[in-house]
Structure 1
Amino acid sequence: MAILITSIILALIGLALGGGGLWLVLLGGSAFYVLAGLAFLVTAILLFMRKAAALWLYAIFVLAALAWAIWEVGFDWWQLGPRGGLIILIGLWLLTPWIRRPLGFRSLDGVHYGANPWPLAVSLFIAILVAAYSMTTDPHDLSGELPTTVAANAQMGGDVPNGEWHQYGRTSFGQRYSPLDQINAQNVANLKEVWRYQTGDVKRPDDIGETTYQVTPLKIGDTLFICTPHSLAIALDAKDGKEKWRYDANAGLNPNRQHQTCRGVSYYHDSAVAAGAPCADRVYLPTSDARLIALDAANGKVCSSFANEGTLHLETGMKYNPAGYYYSTSPPVIVADKIIIGGAVNDNYSTQEQSGVIRAFDARTGALLWNWDSGNPDQTAPLPAGQTYTTNSPNSWSVSSADEKLGMVYVPLGNQTPDQLGMGRSANVERFSSSVVALDINTGQLKWVQQFVHHDLWDMDVPAQPVLVDLTKADGSTVPALVASTKQGDIYVLDRRTGAPIIPFKEIPAPGGTIPEDHASPTQPISDLTFSPPPLQEKDMWGVSLFDQLACRIAFHQHQYEGRYTPPSLRGSIIFPGNFGTFNWGSVAVDPERQIMFGMPTYLAFTSRLVPRADIPPKGAGDKGSEQGLNRNEGSPYGVYMGPFVSPLGIPCQAPPWGYVAGVDLKTGKIAYKHKNGTVHDMTPLPLPFKVGVPGIGGPIVTKGGVAFLAAAVDDYLRAYDVTSGRQLWEARLPAGGQATPMTYTASDNKQYVVMVAGGHGSVGTKPGDYVIGYTLP
């Protein structure tokens, strides 16, 4: 009976692999799966016929499959395992007495001998030996160390006390660097949780899918200030996490919102008001219904002298204003008594989106001081009554940086909706999309622009806050620099006075092949400092078994793919790096004293398939208008289906690693190390601790103590790393997804704390929550 059942199973495996393999060959792919299918089928037939040759054939097949796997991927365990796991397990089963003995023979003296096991046993031993060896190697690891020399008079941006955190990136320079060193690489392993606070603002059943908690707290004096996804502002005691006050903006719910999140509040000290007077210190709360509300930092009461009874209505001046299509998910930058704010629009909902205008308001009164509209860039004086900003101009949904001494604010810009369709864009849209612009803080006039994607068809907007740092040149002089991390994996290092490159970048040929109504730029820029991955090949397709790996190989050939910047297509294109980007809003962290950078490059391919308007199903039929599902693009000739490039099991089709931590010497522009980051603990039904290197979204911080802190990965951990080597030093399990950027400060007890918000991320599917957690040394 065992022989019969095994024969049937092997035959079914052979038919599946052979049939799928033939399909793959017809698409231009590898012939291995056809041959593997034949090997399984013939083995099944020989077993059914009780022939000992079945074991000989299977032994040859094991060695052939091993040689093929090593030829394709070398000694990479996470790629060898899926290629050989099923083959080895079946081989071991074939060696059992229930299979081997019936294949034997009786001698003349009546003694029964089972089939000779040694050829198959030896082949399996060799395969297992290779597998064991591959587990000891890591072909993806880059080891090295960052320099430890410290520059004199390093600038951190603004007059922020060492133990405080006044802006999203700590200062207006956005470095995410703390000059604290009480917690350091030698003692961070002793870090313990000391308090935990829950906001009560949890994900609701009727929330949109992309409800996320991404806030980085501010710390001023003895208080932490946070916001929540549903637009609450909360003040906590910095020492014990106890609530001081809370304010509910009553922003409500709207199914048309694409994002339900808040990345942070902004802080302002009014030097013209006596200390302790009402609203001398303010917190500004951006809401998900397009308001900016001024609150007294001391008690959470609305500062009624600001704007309209304490509230700025950001939809003012927009030609179109559909509710839920526009809001600020990120905190504005406050510099020189000005609030400078952009706004997020719903990607790919409609061509009649609100403007991407950048506006400066008086931080005391809320009066509009200037507006810079990328669709009308020369008119920066406050918009007169009756005039509207340019509809659907490139917007800034992320965080800006500012250099008050140079008098410039640095704004990362996105694209015009629809992101995947480039026809009909104006000259200004083509000029400013997917760029960083430097604007005069006082007038809003354009100082310079540097574009990182031409004629963007991939939603490769600049997602991250630019980091400002002064770099020492080889001749000993200092140049004020800007570090811009991008979705495509390039790190651009520019002179922030002029936008000129410090680390060179060049133009390289880019693929064509768009729909007839559109075109693609013949070249695209690439920086000499890049984390852009090599182009995908069929051998990079992955799966937990031969079957889903075969399905991914077939899908790879079914899609259009010519490398980075393959245009979206009616056939469906592979976009790699994908829409989440190699870097996203979490940006990178920079130590201004050592002039080094720490970041989390992530690699996850997406697909993008255009759909003619006539073929788009009725509204509500599975459309999400986000990074996954159908994006309707109302008013345009095409919608687009987007989503991660995954197997039938929902696992990424491209082989791991999908996420790293990395260190860069900014003075030389060289990558010092790159290590796999994160486990599949929360990606699989079983909590497996395998360190594969997983995707993530969020950001790191670095400290003078030589430690980087980062959660972000899709397993729910906060981790500490040695900044010099990138090696992990400590980790703590989080009660929910850690898709926020941590921060650090000292409290009234003179102890250094690290705080992490754990609330999950709707798009990446991590566990939702409402936690704010403080850690310190015992």
Structure 2
Amino acid sequence: MAIVITSILFLVIGLVLSGGGVWLVTLGGSVFYLFAGLMFVITAALLFMRKAMALWVYAVLVAMALIWAVWEAGFDWWQLGPRGGLIILLGLWLLTPWIRRPLGFSSPSGLPYPANPWPLAVPVIIAILVAGYSMTTDPHDLAGDLPNEVVAAAPPFGGNVPDGEWHQYGRTPFGQRYSPLDQINKDNVKDLKVAWEYQTGDVKRPDDVGETTYQVTPLKVGDTLYLCTPHNWAIALDAKTGKEKWKYDANSGMNPDRQHQTCRGVTYYAVPAVAAGQPCAARVYLPTSDARLIALDAADGKICESFADKGVLHLETGMKYNPAGYYYSTSPPVAVAGKLIIGGAVNDNYSTQEQSGVIRAFDINTGALLWNWDSGNPDQTAPLPEGQTYVTNSPNSWSVFSVDEGLGSVYIPLGNQVPDQLGMNRSANVEKFSSSVVALDINTGQLKWVQQFVHHDLWDMDVPAQPVLFDMTKPDGSVVPALVAPTKQGDIYVLDRRNGEAIIPFKEIPAPGGAIPEDHTAPTQPISDLSFSPDPLKEKDMWGITLIDQLACRIAFHRYKYEGRYTPPSVEGTIVYPGNFGTFNWGSVAVDPERQIMFGMPTYLAFTSRLVPAAELPPRGQDEKGSEQGLNRNDGAPYGVFMGPLLGPLQIPCQAPPWGYVAGVDLRTGKIAYMHKNGTVHDMTPLPLPFKVGVPGIGGPILTKGGLAFLGAAVDNYLRAYDATNGNQLWQARLPAGGQATPMTYTASDNKQYVVMVAGGHGSVGTKPGDYVIAYTLP
């Protein structure tokens, strides 16, 4: 009976592989799957006929599969496993007595002699040994050390922030995410324990949009932590105990048309002219998902009614179109020189009649508009007169700004004009400013310089991250004020922040053509000499748990249009790699301005986009996500677009791991010192498997003078500490929910250093939601 069932199983597998193999060959792909399918079918027939030759045929398949797998993938276990796992498991089954006995013969005395196992056993054993060896190697690991010596003994950190505090999203206006604290260091980080845990009470709701996420980095000023929650509560906690001091609910309501429901942080400001202890002597400014900016008294959370309209600034003012839920601020404004400078997130790919991406500066005390810079109308920075509106759908900035008050500049990462994948009819200004970093004059809003990182962006390659500012000491001893801009496409641009010129060189390289007839592509695109951009995908990079779903991914790879980075969108469907989540995203990178090193988390996950003519769009409400996954309708445009990760039949990435790393860079030389796989599949599979394959993530790192980097972000629920010099993991703590926020560190009144992590999950990457704020310290 066993041999009959086995022959049927082999026949089914053979027919599937043969059929898919024929399809793959006609697409120009590998012939191995067709060969393997035929060998399964032949083996099935021989098993059914009780022929010992079945073992010989299958032995040939095992040997050829091993040779093919090593030829394609080398000794990479995570690539070899799917190619050979099913074949070897079934080979082991064929070697059992239940199969070999019916294939053998009987002696003259009637005793059964099972078929000789060795023709099959030898290649199976060799394959197992090769698999075992591959488990001891890591062809994707880059080992190395960053320099330990201090290059700049007293570098500017930006602003006047005490060492033990964290006043802005990136700690200071420079956005370095670097703390000069060293009480927690490489020697003792292994002893970190939970000091306190606080739950906000703001939990994910049944009617939340898909991308409801908890991305906040708390601020620490004096003895208090200030933070916000996804539904726009502002909360103050005691920094030493985690005890709640006050809570304010902005009542921003629910709207299914919002693309994001999140808050990355609040802004703190102490009013110089108001005596301490007086109402609103210090303020917390809370951005909301219904396009308001609310001023709160930092002491008790009450509204500061002297600001704007009884404490509330309405950010939708001046918009020609104002569809509810399409515009809001998810990132904290910067406070500088008596001003609040703020951008706004505009829903991607909802409509051609959305709000403007204007950047505005308001009086920090009164809320009066001081200047506006609209990338669609960049020369008119004086406040718009009554009745005039900002440019519809101009490129926006949804991320965090950096400021150099000494140079009088605010540095703004810009996104794209929606619809992201359609470039027809863009104005000259839009073409100039999309997907760039701009430097604006703090006092007037006038443009100082612009540096663009994608020309005629058709891929949603917003500059997503807060630029990091530091003063670079060159080998000749000269000091240059530098700006580090991480990008979705994986390039790290290091610029002179005075003029936007390159410190680390970048160049223009040819880019693929072939846009839809109504559109065009840029003939060249920039690429930095410091880049984490991955090699172009090949068929052999397609992956799966088994040979069968890997075959499906190979077929999909050939069906999509793909000519490498910047392959234009198409109605056939295009692979976008690096994908929409980017190699780097809003979590940015951390820079140690003393050692002049950088720590980051490059992520690799291919996406797809498929343009759909407007006349062929499904009825409204079907398969609509309005985000990075699903149908984006682009109302008013000639095409909608289906987007999403390139996934196989089992809903795992079609490209082979690793999907995520930690990496270290020497910024003075522009060289990558190390890259190590980061994160496990613990929370990606039904079983809590500890396999360290290198998983995707979204969130940011911090660095400390103690030689450490702290990072959550990965899609397994851990906070980890790394040796900043070599990237080796030194400590980890299990989180009760996804850690898709950037941690921070400070000292409290007990003179102990704390590390705080918010764990609340991320809707788009599917991590566990929660409402936790957790502080760690040494015993």
TM-score by length of 2: 0.99
Partner of 2:41: 41
**Cα shift at 1:110:** 4.1
Counterpart secondary structure, 1:460:
coil
- 2:646 alignment partner AA: F
Which whole-Å CA distance do the structure 2 matches of 1:585 and 1:210 have between them?
Answer: 14
Does residue 18 of the first structure (1) align with residue 18 of the second (2)? yes
1:75 aligns with 2:75: yes
Aligned to 1:685: 686
**Offset, 1:617:** 1.1
Query: Structure 1: which amino acid aligns with 2:292?
Result: R
The amino acid across from 2:299 in the alignment is A
RMSD of aligned residue pairs (Cα, Å)? 0.7
Measure the CA separation in 2 of the matches of 1:695 and 1:653.
13
Task: Give CA-to-partner distance per residue, 1:515-565, whole Å, 9 cap, x none.
Answer: 100001010000000000000000000000001000000000000000000
Find the aligned partners of 1:167 and 1:106 in 2 and give their Cα distance: 83
Instruction: Give the deviation of 1:111 after TM superposition.
Output: 3.9
2:602 is aligned to 601
What secondary structure sits across from 2:372 in the alignment?
strand
**Match of 1:104?**
104
Matched residues in 2 for 1:501 and 1:33: separation? 48
For 1:261, the equivalent position in structure 2 comes to 262
User: CA offset at residue 655 of structure 1?
Assistant: 0.2
- Aligned partner of 2:295: which letter? A
Alpha-carbon distance between aligned partners in 2 of 1:171 and 1:269, rounded to the nearest angstrom:
15
- How is 1:432-451 mapped onto 2 (pairs within 5 angstroms)? 432-451=433-452
Aligned to 1:513: 514
Between the aligned partners of 2:495 and 2:193, the Cα distance in structure 1 is: 40
Partner Cα distance (1:184, 1:62) in 2:
51
Q: 2:94: which partner in 1?
A: 94
Q: How far has the Cα of 1:107 moved from its partner?
A: 3.4
User: Quick one: which amino acid aligns to residue 767 of structure 2?
Assistant: T
1:202-241 correspondence runs (5 A):
202-241=203-242
Give the Å deviation of 1:165: 0.2
Write the letter of the residue equivalent to 2:661. Y
Q: Distance in 2 between matches of 1:440 and 1:68?
A: 60
Q: In structure 2, what residue type is equivalent to 1:312?
A: L
What is the letter of the counterpart of residue 223 of structure 1? T
Cα displacement (A) at 1:112: 2.9
Q: 2:161 maps to what in 1?
A: 160
Matching of residues 364-763 of structure 1 within 5 Å:
364-763=365-764
2:128 partner amino acid:
I
Residues in 1 aligned to 2:644 and 2:497: alpha-carbon distance in whole angstroms: 35
Partner residue in 1 for 2:201: 200
* Equivalent-residue separation in structure 2 for 1:111 and 1:589 (angstroms): 73
Equivalent AA in structure 1 for residue 433 of structure 2? F
Letter in 1 for 2:550: Q
In 2, Cα distance between equivalents of 1:79 and 1:563: 21
Q: Deviations over 1:410-461 (max 9, x none)?
A: 0000000000000000000000000000000000000000000000000000
CA deviations on 1:227-278 (whole Å, 9 max, x unpaired) are 0111110000000111000111110001111100000000111112222221
Q: Deviations over 1:335-394 (max 9, x none)?
A: 111100000000000011101000001111111111001011011111111111111100
Report what 2:51 is aligned to: 51
Q: After TM superposition, give the deviation of residue 280 of structure 1 in Å.
A: 1.2
Aligned amino acid, residue 253 of structure 1? M
Q: Distance in 2 between matches of 1:192 and 1:481?
A: 37
1:29 shift after superposition: 0.4
Q: Distance in 2 between matches of 1:748 and 1:554?
A: 61
Q: Give the drift of 1:105.
A: 1.7
Deviates most, 613-622 or 107-116: 107-116
List runs of 5+ in structure 1 lacking aligned partners. none
Within 5 A, what are the aligned runs for 1:300-319? Answer: 300-319=301-320
1:124 is aligned to 2:114:
no
Deviation at residue 108 of structure 1 after TM alignment:
4.0
The one-letter code matched in structure 2 to 1:12 is V
Aligned length: 778
Structure 2 CA distance, aligned partners of 1:451 and 1:599? 22
Q: Alignment partner of 2:591: what SS?
A: strand
Q: Report the CA distance between 1:102 and its aligned residue.
A: 1.3
**Corresponding residue SS for 2:83:** helix
**Alpha-carbon distance between aligned partners in 1 of 2:256 and 2:3, rounded to the nearest angstrom:** 58
Q: What is the CA–CA distance in structure 1 between the aligned matches of 2:716 and 2:619, rounded to whole Å? A: 37
- Tell me whether 1:289 sits opposite 2:252 in the alignment: no
Structure 2: 5+ residue stretches without partners = none
User: How far 1:153 moved relative to its partner?
Assistant: 2.2
Q: CA deviation at 1:50?
A: 1.0
Distance 1:325 1:51 in 2: 68
Once the two structures are TM-superposed, the CA of residue 109 in structure 1 deviates from its matched residue by: 4.8
Structure 1 CA distance, aligned partners of 2:489 and 2:676?
Answer: 19
2:138 aligns to what? Answer: 138
For the residues of structure 1 that align with 2:290 and 2:469, how far apart are their CA atoms?
Answer: 31
3-state SS of 1:155 partner: coil
Q: Deviations over 1:439-494 (max 9, x none)?
A: 00000000000000000000000000000011111211100000000000000000
Equivalent residue letter for 1:766: T
> Match of 1:138, as an amino acid?
D
For the residues of structure 1 that align with 2:530 and 2:723, how far apart are their CA atoms? 22
Q: Secondary structure at the match of 1:608?
A: strand
Deviation at 1:495, TM superposition (A): 0.1
Question: In the alignment, what sits opposite 1:190?
Answer: 191
SS in 1 for 2:663: strand
Moved more, 275-284 or 178-187: 275-284
Distance between the aligned counterparts of 1:683 and 1:589, measured in 2? 27
Q: Distance in 2 between matches of 1:281 and 1:184?
A: 33
Superposed displacement of residue 303, structure 1? 0.7
Correspondence 1:176 to 2:177 = yes
Partner Cα separation in structure 1 for residue 657 and residue 3 of structure 2: 37
Residue 210 of structure 1: CA displacement?
0.7
Distance in 1 (alpha carbons) for counterparts of 2:698 and 2:114: 57
Aligned to 2:243: 242
**Which stretch of structure 1 is more off in the superposition, 618-627 or 214-223?**
618-627
Quick one: distance in 1 between partners of 2:86 and 2:695? Answer: 24
Task: Spell out, residue by residue over 1:158-196, the C-alpha distance to the aligned partner (whole angstroms, 9 max, x if none).
Answer: 110000000000000000000000000110010001111
Query: Residue 573 of structure 1: CA displacement?
Result: 0.3
Secondary structure of residue in 1 paired with 2:184: coil
Counterparts of 1:404 and 1:276, CA distance in 2: 28
Once residues 758 and 149 of structure 1 are traced to their aligned partners in structure 2, the CA distance between those partners, rounded to angstroms, is 34
Q: What do the CA deviations read for 1:720-749 (whole angstroms, capped 9, x no partner)?
A: 000000000000000010000000000010
Tell me how far apart the structure 1 counterparts of residues 320 and 3 of structure 2 sit (CA, whole Å). 74
Q: Deviations over 1:36-64 (max 9, x none)?
A: 00111111111111111111111121111
Aligned partner of residue 507 in structure 1, secondary structure = strand
Aligned-pair identity in percent equals 82
Q: Secondary structure at the match of 1:235?
A: strand
- Give 2:205's aligned amino acid: R
Q: Distance in 1 between matches of 2:618 and 2:65?
A: 45
SS in 2 for 1:137: coil
Moved more, 571-580 or 148-157: 148-157
Aligned counterparts of 1:117 and 1:547: Cα–Cα separation in 2: 27
Residue aligned with 1:730, SS:
strand
